[in-house]
Amino acid sequence: MANTIPDITLNDGTTIPQLGFGVFQIEPKDTVAAVTTALEVGYRHIDTAQMYGNEAEVGEAVRVSGLDRSAVYVTSKLSNAFHAPDDARKAFDSTLAALKMDYIDLFLIHWPLPTLYDGDYASTWKVLEEIQRDGRARSIGVSNFQVSHLERLAAETSVVPAVNQIEAHPYFTNDEVRAYGREHNILTEAWSPIAQGKVLNDPTVVDIAQQLDRSPAQVVLRWHVQRGDIIFPKSTTPKRVEENTRIFDFSLDDAAMERITELNKGEAGRQGPNPDTFAYLPN
């Protein structure tokens, strides 16, 4: 690989690679090959979830890679169907069983679901605290939590999330949630970092990419990196998988960073559901 992916230190003292490989919407039958390619070109951070249905294939790819388990950072997330405390405990056991691993590096609550389970995501979080205490999850965090959700955890629980994985990209910079994270030492992980590809044809992004002789995707991913975000772009095209690693050997100047940030459309730029109202339960 042309350059080294840096590690970032979490608030619990562990470290996480700033660039990872996401497997959202990769079919289980394609996941082993996709993750194998990612590991071959230098990724050491894989992001999966119970609701993706491909944890077992991620685990298989890590095992056949020849890499030590400790060399690959693995994240998964609690399914929306298992927020009740006893269900959450059993669900975490199923994640370890599917991965065929003794521990996971990072485990997240996937969605807060404030309109379900009587809005009691705090008790779900306390289960994750238990899992971290017994060492089966090295770090714990949340995903799609708004400021109000994070404030409730701060008031009712004892462990600050290590990360908050949220939608963030040039069309939806999600600055309020990111600012809360910075203030409370919660790192931001940005899902949909290129807005499902929608920003790649933006004239501003294309112009900056042409000036730097880089791809639009590389420019947007570099923008995230310089903002301090952890990112995990998804692709099943080997060329693009490798291309996405080559974002640490160039930088954007302040003017380019500002031009991209100014593409923010606020709530109108959100591509996914609003966490305040999202209430999906898988079958």
Q: Report, as residue numbers or ranges, the catalytic residues.
A: 52
Question: Using the 8-state DSSP alphabet, how is residue 6 labeled?
Answer: P
CB 25 within 8 A of CB 53: no
| Three-state DSSP string of 35-101 | HHHHHHCCCCEEECCHHHCCHHHHHHHHHHCCCCHHHCEEEEEECHHHCCHHHHHHHHHHHHHHHCC
Residue 198 to residue 207: CA distance in whole angstroms: 15
**Which strands sit side by side in the sheet containing 73-78, from one edge to the other?**
21-22, 45-47, 73-78, 104-109, 137-143, 163-167, 187-191, 230-231
Question: Using the 8-state DSSP alphabet, how is residue 164 labeled?
Answer: E
